[in-house]
Homo-oligomer: A and B are copies of this chain.
Amino acid sequence: MKLSNLFTRTKKDYPKDEVSVSAQLLIRAGFIDKVAAGVYTLLPLGLRSANKISDIIRKRMDDAGGQEVMMQSLIPRANMEKTGRWEALDVLFKLKGSDEKEYGLGATHEEIVTPLAKKFTLSYKDLPFGIYQIQDKFRDELRAKSGVLRTREFMMKDLYSFHASEDDLNAYYEKMIAIYWDIFEHCGIKDKTHLVFASGGTFAKYSHEFQTQTDSGEDEIYVCKECGTGINKEVLGEKFECPQCKTDQYELIKAVEVGNIFKLKTKYSEPFELTFADEKDSQQPVMMGCYGIGIQRLLGTVVEANRDEKGMIWPEEVAPYKYHLISIGDTKKEADKLYDDLVKKGIEVLYDDRDLSVGEKFADADLIGLPFRLVVSQKNEGKIELKKRSEETTELVESSSL
């Protein structure tokens, strides 16, 4: 993509109405646009990164045998009443059609996926299976002040698993913890992320959250100094004891929840009478788990965890493009050719072909934060100057090595 064609532009000033650093940077760099509190458009650069995050997640859900579907946001009132969440779910947006039919806008989809599974699940031979989607969610958040870290509408990967026994649910749940660590590693935030014990609601002692340390986070987490496991302040007892290694040494951090997983057990299968025939042909309730990751929040968290005073520093797998190509002086022809060559090779490159000063181009490259900056300049005698965004040093390379 040539920057002269991209309809967005970077901004010099920090948006005054954003408190989170990630939203400030994403808006300044032209990745997102604020429509209202908690409502953001993903612009071309932001959508590319969001899609890469989704692809990292999708691949791992598919590898784990997850079957992708797309449920709809309109959930009939009757479905939500069946579980009591029409009244109990305080973030549920409600609306009424012109035919007086009432809907909730999906905040999660247990009330759709459970009756869906009931249409096809017959016996223990059909279990286990996992159904997932990467789809828009709505939450009527009273407080939506943290940029894309807490929004009223966002894409979410939500996987629901179905099991014949609690043992099988437990094994799947442990597998999903490992998959989540792998996802966060590939998104470049694993080092700052903690597995945290959180409220399990009415149906399990604990759920687990993945919490990434950042000052923009809204959660307070007690983190074990030995092993890094955390306890959400909301569920901390009288004093800290690490749930893993049992020590009492902790530090208190601010963090943002980038993933959460629940053992739902029979909370949803019971009201929807989702049962299966066991080996003795006796009907048993299906055990369920659910596993969520908010895409925009993860996007914002990647930025929170990977930045400096000049701008963002995108991890390579989730960067919108790999290279930021800049032409200096009278080298437009050479830079155009390099851009064409890279595009032909299928390499993702953002090309600043605009008529701006070198200083302005370098500042934009640092703000946008692609992993590698390429400079074509006469003084380099046919070689290309390569600089990693995360490092200060440059090196000269042959264009054929890119």
Task: List the interface of chain A (C-beta within 8 A of B).
Answer: 5-9, 33, 35-36, 39-44, 47, 50, 65, 67-76, 79, 90, 93-95, 97-99, 101, 105, 112, 116-117, 119-121, 126, 129, 131, 136, 138, 140, 142, 152-153, 155
Whether A33 contacts B116 in the complex (CB less than 8 A), given A98-B142, A142-B98, comes out as yes
B93 touches A94 (CB 8 A): no
Question: What is the chain B residue whose CB lies nearest that of A33?
Answer: B116
B65 touches A44 (CB 8 A): no
Contacting residues, chain B, for A72 (C-beta < 8 A) = 35, 39-41, 136, 153
A11 to B39 alpha-carbon distance, docked (Å): 41
Q: Is the CB of A47 within 8 A of B76?
A: no
Which chain B positions have C-beta within 8 A of A74?
Answer: 35-36, 39, 138, 152-153
Chain B contacts for A136, CB-based, 8 A: 72-73, 136
Contact among B70, B94, B142 with A42 in the assembled complex (CB-CB below 8 Å): B70
Bound-state Cα–Cα, A7 to B69, Å: 11
| Docked pose: A39 CA to B111 CA in angstroms | 14
Shortest 9 CB-CB distances between A and B: which pairs?
Answer: A95-B95, A42-B70, A72-B153, A7-B129, A44-B67, A41-B71, A36-B76, A97-B140, A39-B74
A selection of 12 A-B contacts at a CB cut-off of 8 Å is A6-B67, A7-B126, A33-B116, A35-B75, A36-B76, A41-B71, A41-B116, A44-B69, A73-B153, A93-B97, A95-B105, A99-B142
Question: Given A47-B70, A95-B94, A131-B7 in contact, is the A119-B41 Cβ separation under 8 Å?
Answer: no
CA distance A251 to B94 in the complex (A): 46
Identify which of A90, A95, A117 gathers the most chain B CB atoms within 10 Å of its CB. Answer: A95
Q: Given B39, B75, B119, which contacts A33 in the complex, CB threshold below 8 Å?
A: B119
Tell me the complex Cα distance, A97–B153, Å. 12
